[in-house]
Structure 1
């Protein structure tokens, strides 16, 4: 029986997803396990030039921050859960090289490879765990992280300004706000305790912005409608035209 996170995965390749990988999984996986990692904080502090933004107007996506480093920063969201929830995927053995190449392309914009112990959620079918593994111990997973020294790392931001930025941004993979809301929904499906205050607060702020903008657009459409000229003719003119048509 494995007793730590260094031997259980010796013959298997496991990947940890904490962002879009939760609801947009990699190809060729045969096991999916919800759970968490520790020692990190999840934040929307990574610029996205290739998926949810463009080089001219980068969007924002999540990365993991070492908790010891995060504690030295001034963050408007000054609390974070001890557990960063996400999903571990086991990749089929004969497809590992292919999937690694796929992930290197998908995560190329500032992310680098790291390894971290992963704790399976309670109640996971033991048959899904690495061979001879026990729930009491984590197993090692590969994870892509945008560390503070990468060029796309933007660091702490005012939550409202960040929400406004996310609302406005879009890229080849779609609207930045859909990434945010997709992450919020995916986290909510993992466990009753898998929520993330940072993600939830940003989601609520962006929903409020969307409602504000929709109200503004509706008001502008109504104003344009009222300002359009109407070519009304009085009843006498209409009656006269009808009589003319009848006698012609």
Structure 2
């Protein structure tokens, strides 16, 4: 994917709704919790490079335009809120080009660049943010899936960035920490199902432990960020 240079480097904001919430991009100088509207968040994007492999893809989140989602038969009903919570990051002006290149590598597996209005949690003025979305026309988009089978698939999957279940549990924990109203029904229900699967198989899967493990990986010089790759 070519690096997008259409947005001014004077004020560059990025919206993260998945792993970017707890694994932020490099070179940001502001981090703001908040939400976007007009979308739903779903674990409908295959992951061949981070939380799975080409022959056994994992599952990660993408955003789906609510108007399109409403035309689908989704076994996971949406909560009443139209808000998708996450975090916005302002990137240091001198580092914008470098961070865009980094993000294009990190989000290469089916994600494309879009722009959306971000509403800060503190009701400060709206911000225009860049966001990476795996749209329904990309070849990694999986579409509606049975929640129990999806939880089982996530429980079994693993890739270069670690177990798929750690991604799910870390996302649940990170979302809960943004705001009293930032929880996501789809994410929480899948996490609850995964925890029951883990308990039934004798495993231990707790969201806080998963997030702590993920954060340690962020600090590691061997496993910096989600990509396990470097910008040279």
Q: Which residue in 1 is equivalent to 2:223?
A: none
Matches of residues 1-248 of structure 1 in structure 2 within 5 Å?
11-80=10-79, 81-122=81-122, 135=124, 137-214=125-202
Provide, for residues 29-81 of structure 1, a one-character-per-residue CA deviation record: whole Å limited to 9, x for no partner.
00000000000000000000000000000000000000000000011111233
Provide, for residues 102-158 of structure 1, a one-character-per-residue CA deviation record: whole Å limited to 9, x for no partner.
0000000000000000000027xxxxxxxxxxx2x4110000000000000000000
CA distance in 1, matches of 2:17, 2:160: 21
CA distance in 2, matches of 1:77, 1:66: 16
**SS in structure 2 at match of 1:199:** helix
Gaps of at least 5 residues in structure 1 are 1-8, 124-134, 216-248
Q: Which contiguous aligned blocks of 4+ residues in structure 1 show a shift greater than 3 angstroms?
A: none
Give the total of aligned pairs. 195
CA distance in 1, matches of 2:9, 2:181: 30
Q: Which residue in 2 is equivalent to 1:225?
A: none
**SS in structure 1 at match of 2:166:** helix
Alpha carbons of structure 1 residues 101 and 10: separation in structure 2 relative to 1, 3 Å: closer
CA distance in 1, matches of 2:143, 2:193: 19
**SS in structure 1 at match of 2:189:** helix
**SS in structure 2 at match of 1:54:** coil
- State the 1:10 CA deviation: 7.7
Farther off after superposition, 101-110 or 72-81: 72-81
Structure with max Cα Rg: 1
CA distance in 2, matches of 1:12, 1:140: 10
Contact 2:46 2:140 in 1 (8 A): yes
CA distance in 1, matches of 2:78, 2:121: 22
CA distance in 1, matches of 2:177, 2:20: 14
**Normalised by the size of structure 2, how large is the TM-score?**
0.82
- State the 1:89 CA deviation: 0.1
The CA RMSD over aligned residues, in Å, is 1.2
**SS in structure 2 at match of 1:214:** coil
**Normalised by the size of structure 1, how large is the TM-score?**
0.77
